[in-house]
Homo-oligomer: A and B are copies of this chain.
Amino acid sequence: MAITVVGSVAYDTIETPAGRKDRCLGGAATYFSLAASFFTDVRVIAVVGEDFGPEQEAVFLAHNIDTRGIERAPGKSFFWEGSYLENLNEARTRNTELNVFAAFEPKIPEAYRDSEFLFLANIDPVLQRRVRDQMPGVKLVAGDTMNYWIKDHRPALLEVLTGVDVLLINDTEARMLAANNNLVQAARAILALGPRILIVKHGEYGATAFFSFHSFAPKGESAEHPFRAPALPLEEVVDPTGAGDSFAGGFFGYLASQSALTPSVFRRAMFYGSVMGSFACERFGTERLQALTRKEIDDRFLLFRELTHLD
C-alpha cells in the first residue's frame, strides 16, 4: 500500500567529527521517502526552490518515489546548517533558512488521494493538520514533531495529535510534550492526547513503543506492555542527521508493505525502523540510503535479531 509523506526536502550543511559536507540533499521527507522506498510505494508532498534540479529529482526517481507532489517555487530550497562537533547525539543548529518553505501551502495531487498511509514529517503542525484533513480516507497516520513546535505551537500541535495514530518522537520531546520526566508516565499522558501508539526514539539505544488500550498492536491483556527495538552500537557514526526520519521510513514503509497489522508485523516494523536509522548514520546526508540494497537491509535485520534475542 502506498504512503504519502509531507515534509521538507532541503539542503543541509553538516559538520561532524568525521568531517564536513556542504549542501547535501536532505530534509525529513527525503530521508523518510528513501528509507520507506525499500518496502513500498512512496509519494512526496514538499516544496523546493530553483536550486532543486533534475540531479536531485533523480535521487527520488531512482527509488521509484512519486515526485509529482514536489512543488517548484521561485527562490531557494529550505536550508539548514548544523554541527555535531560537541555532541554526536544532538545537533547544534548554526543556521536555518526557510526560503520557499516560508509560504508553503501543501497541495495533494489527485494521484495521491488513494494512499492508505500518511506520514506527517516534522513541519508546522498547521500544515500537518491541513494535509491530514485533506486525506480523510487514509487507514493509518503517523507523525513526527520537534521541540520548537512543542514549546511554541502547542495548541496547533495538540489538534494534530487527535488525528495521528502513531506518534514518533525522541526522549527529550516526549518528556517535554508531557511535562513529565518519567518516560512511562509521559507515554501515558501522550497516549491520552490522541495517538494510539507512541514510539520514543532513544538514538543509539533504540526505540520503545507504548500502546494505548485500544491499540491493534499487542495481544489481549498485554496491551499496555511496551516493546523495545534495539539500535546497533556503531563503530563509526559519520553523520546522525536524518536517523529519526529514516527510522520512521523503515517502520512505516514495512507496515505499509504488509497485509495486516498484527503484533508480529508491528515488532518487525520497529526493527526495520532501527535498521534504517542505523544505516543513515554511516555516511553523510542520504548517501548511505541512496546506495543501500534490500539484501543489506535484511542482513542487518538478522543482526539486530541476533543482537537482542535469547536463542
Residues of chain B lying within 8 A (CB to CB) of residue A271: 310
Task: Let me know if A233 and B208 touch, CB within 8 A.
Answer: yes
* Nearest-Cβ distance from residue A85 to partner chain B, whole angstroms: 12
Q: Chain B CB within 10 Å — which of A234, A236, A264, A309 has the most?
A: A309
Interface string of A289-311 (1 = CB under 8 A from B): 00000000000000101111111
Residues from chain B with Cβ under 8 Å of A210 in the complex: 233
| Cβ-closest chain B residue relative to A208 | B233
Number of copies: 2
Are A306 and B225 closer than 8 Å at their CB atoms? yes
| A interface, over-half SS | mixed
Using A205-B205, A303-B225 as known contacts, say yes or no to A264 and B233 having CB atoms under 8 A apart.
Answer: no
Most chain B CB within a 10 A radius of its CB, from A268, A271, A307: A307
Chain A interface category by residue count: 35 or more
Q: Which of B204, B222, B306, B309 contacts A309 (CB 8 A)?
A: B309
A235-B185 CB under 8 A given contacts A205-B206, A225-B303 = yes
Contact of B234 with A184 in the complex, beta carbons under 8 Å: yes
A228 to B308, Cβ gap below 8 A?
Answer: yes
A208 CB → nearest B CB, Å: 6
| Interface flag for A216 (CB, 8 Å) | no
Which of B183, B187, B237, B268 lies in contact with A310, CB distance below 8 A?
B268
In the docked arrangement, what's the CA distance between A206 and B235, Å? 19
Point out the residues of chain B lying under 8 angstroms from A185, CB to CB: 235
Q: Is the CB of A310 within 8 A of B306?
A: no
Point out the residues of chain B lying under 8 angstroms from A267, CB to CB: 309-311
Contact partners of A227 in chain B: CB under 8 A: 307-308
**A230 within 8 A of partner (CB):** yes
Residue A259 lies at the interface, judged by CB distance under 8 Å to chain B:
no
User: In the complex, A291 Cα to B207 Cα: how many Å?
Assistant: 32
- Distance A184 CA – B308 CA, assembled complex (angstroms): 16
Q: Bound state CA distance, A218 and B156, in angstroms?
A: 51
Distance to closest chain B CB from A41 (angstroms): 25
Q: Chain B residues with Cβ under 8 A from A306's Cβ?
A: 222, 225
Q: Which chain B residues border A229 with CB–CB below 8 Å? A: 308
Q: How far is the CA of A267 from the CA of B305 in the complex (A)?
A: 13
Contact call A310/B309, Cβ cutoff below 8 A: yes
Q: How far is the CA of A205 from the CA of B205 in the complex (A)?
A: 6
Give the distance to chain B from A209, nearest Cβ to Cβ, in Å: 10
Whether the pair B305, A235 counts as a contact (CB closer than 8 A) is no
Q: How far is the CA of A205 from the CA of B230 in the complex (A)?
A: 10
Give the residues in chain B near A183, CB-CB below 8 Å.
204, 233
> Quick one: which of B228, B234, B236, B310 contacts A264, CB cutoff 8 A?
B310
- Closest CB pairs A-B (n = 4): A205-B205, A184-B235, A267-B310, A184-B233
